[in-house]
Amino acid sequence: MRRTASLVLLAFAVFFAALSPLLRWYAFPRLAKVPANTYQAMVLEAHDATLLDYGTMRPRTVPKVTIVQTLKGDVEAAKKIEKTAGRDVVVWDGLSYVQGPDGKMVSRIPERYIFDAHSQEPVHATGEMVDGDPVRRQGIEFKWPFLTQKRDYEYFDAQTRTTAPIHYRGTQNFRGLTVYYFEQTVPWTKVPFPKAMPVQGITPESVAKTGTTRWYTTVRRFWVEPVTGAPVYGEEIHKEELRGGTLLGGRARVTAFAGHVKMREDYIRHTVNMVKSQRQLVLLMTSYLPWGFLGLGLALLALSLFLEARGRRPADPAPAPAEETEPVSA
């Protein structure tokens, strides 16, 4: 009976020990994915910012500039691309909408970002674009990979349409979460004008005829929760200038926008709470269950060996029968 129980426990021990690496290295890459139907919005603000008044072509200080960023998953487009890509794909239609303190549009830049649902690596397909211009992304954008490492990553900048390293600068605590801090500096670079201009009748083509060009620089900062790879907070020190041409009336350069852009407080709280819940699901597949199954397998193995040893122990020898004595006659 003991040997039967020992064999059953041994079978369970092998099962749980084998399940541990399978869950971590086989199931996790297939189950941990960005949903194809994701929709999220983020509001950022720059207080006491500098903004160009296109009526006078003079920069002025305004109390607030608001940037609304939305990401919407296109499920049907993702399914079509998956047929040829051979992997799970997410298609995000993004929009960065900037408005001044009066609520009027400053700029409006749409994007289409196509990437691997698990690794977040770009997937190149028809439709990948920024503001209507076809692009071929390299590196990540918006989200880091699951189980982010303490190293530099390649990050795509939508304004310049180029990729550059974003540097790991250390580990910090952000509202109860351990996060990795990343920073990227984009030097002054000539960039195209947005196709949607803030003044009716003015187009990028008409501005180009004046010889005026648009330049941009930013310091980009992200605080990333490493288990999920989700940024819980982000900000930019953003500057734009118009340079040269007849549009500026002989001036060499004019500030078009300058401000310290930060996430709004209510969106910070929402993001932190959401990441905390998602973090537990990822840890369940990468840490809690694999290590738990491995520990359970070792415990069952030890119990199986114990019962096997008890079953093999020799029984105690039976007591020797008493010797019969013959009666002694006188």
Kindly report the pTM of this predicted structure: 0.87
Lowest mean pLDDT among 77-81, 142-146, 185-189, 244-248: 244-248
- Please, which residues bridge with residue 321 across strands? none
Contact at 8 Å (CB) between 167 and 184?
yes
Supply the DSSP symbol for 284.
Answer: I
For 195, residues 6+ apart whose C-beta sits below 8 A from its C-beta are 131, 132, 203, 204
How does pLDDT run across 78-125, given as a tens digit for each residue? 999 999 988 999 999 999 999 999 889 999 999 999 999 999 999 999
Q: Which residue has the higher pLDDT, 262 or 315?
A: 262
How does pLDDT run across 55-89, given as a tens digit for each residue? 888 999 999 999 999 999 999 999 999 999 889 99
> What are the helix (H) ranges across the chain?
2-22, 28-31, 75-85, 204-209, 265-283, 289-312
pLDDT band at 6, cuts 50/70/90?
confident
How does pLDDT run across 302-329, given as a tens digit for each residue? 887 877 777 766 655 555 555 555 555 5
Contact at 8 Å (CB) between 144 and 224?
yes
Supply the DSSP symbol for 235.
Answer: E
Question: 225-247 burial, b for 16+ CB within 10 Å, e for fewer?
Answer: bbbbbbbbbbbbbbbbbbbebeb
Question: What is the distance between the alpha carbons of residues 114 and 215, in angstroms, rounded to a whole number?
Answer: 27
Copy the structure tokens of residue 324. Answer: 């019969």
Between strands 213-225 and 177-191, the pairing is antiparallel
Question: What is the distance between the alpha carbons of residues 260 and 237, in angstroms, rounded to a whole number?
Answer: 5
What's the mean pLDDT in 212-223?
96
Question: What is the distance between the alpha carbons of residues 275 and 232, in angstroms, rounded to a whole number?
Answer: 7
At 252 the pLDDT is 92
